[in-house]
Amino acid sequence: MIPKQTPGIIKRIYPSLVWKKESKNEIFLTFDDGPHPEITPWVLDQLSDYEAQATFFCIGENLSRFREIGVEAINQGHKLANHTFHHENGWKTSTQDYLKSVEMCNKIVTEIRGQPNDLFRPPYGRIKKSQISQLRSDYRIIMWSHLSWDFKRKLSVSKSIRKLKVVEPGSIVVFHDNEKSFENLKAILPVCLEHWSSLNYKFSVI
Ligand SMILES: [Zn+2]
């Protein structure tokens, strides 16, 4: 979940984080907060219809509960990445506790992937400078160029889709495989996948 007011502000303060990638024909779909036993498999089915690969920024405690879903995602060519263990808000968490949570999450991500992980996304997009400087040597801190706003309760789905349709090569798009977002996700994701696919975008992991 990412609050409304942060992206623009943080982008100006922290230009060194990754907001977009260089690419000719790829876009980078990301799903935060899972895995979830019903929602993540639904997402995997949608992605598989378009041979789309995505990056899942997992909450460590969800990944430890639903390891087999993480394994399934990897088997289907997706990537698991770090979204802290307890979904801490960096602004409200001491750097020491924050780093510990990131480390705990990375332990399980690495275990399930069977190889090291260097991708991290801060929950709510909220992270302190001190946390960034500690994490920067070990992680690429991945933000986004396009938010689906799927977590928003009174979302205009058509407006969200309209904004997502204008992705460019290299765009990083955020969705959520959590309960709060599922109704919106069901309405948005299939339409967008169909549209992007018709424009010949390739969907790659970060
Ligand atoms: Zn999150």
CATH number of the structural domain spanning residue 148: 3.20.20.370
Asked if residue 67 lies in contact with residue 112, where contact means CB atoms within 8 angstroms, the answer is yes
Ligand 1 mean position, distance from CA 176 (Å): 7
Within-domain flag for 34: yes
Ligand 1 mean position, distance from CA 152 (Å): 13
Asked if residue 148 lies in contact with residue 175, where contact means CB atoms within 8 angstroms, the answer is yes
How much of the chain exceeds pLDDT 90, in percent?
92
Asked if residue 63 lies in contact with residue 109, where contact means CB atoms within 8 angstroms, the answer is yes
Ligand 1 mean position, distance from CA 50 (Å): 25
For the residues 34-57, what does the mean pLDDT come to? 98
Q: CB-based contacts of 171: which residues, under 8 Å, 6+ apart?
A: 20, 27, 28, 145, 146
Within-domain flag for 2: no
For 87-146, what is each residue's pLDDT tens digit?
A: 999 999 999 999 999 999 999 999 999 999 999 999 999 999 999 999 999 999 999 999
Within-domain flag for 148: yes
Q: How far apart are CA 124 and CA 126, in angstroms?
A: 5
Q: pLDDT band at residue 15, thresholds of 50, 70 and 90?
A: low
Q: How many domains does the chain have?
A: 1
Ligand 1 mean position, distance from CA 124 (Å): 6
- Which domain range does residue 95 map to? 7-203
Collapsing DSSP to helix, strand or coil, 172 comes out as strand
pTM: 0.93
Within-domain flag for 163: yes
Ligand 1 mean position, distance from CA 121 (Å): 8
Q: Which residues surround the ion ligand 1 when the cut-off is CB under 5 Å?
A: 32-33, 123
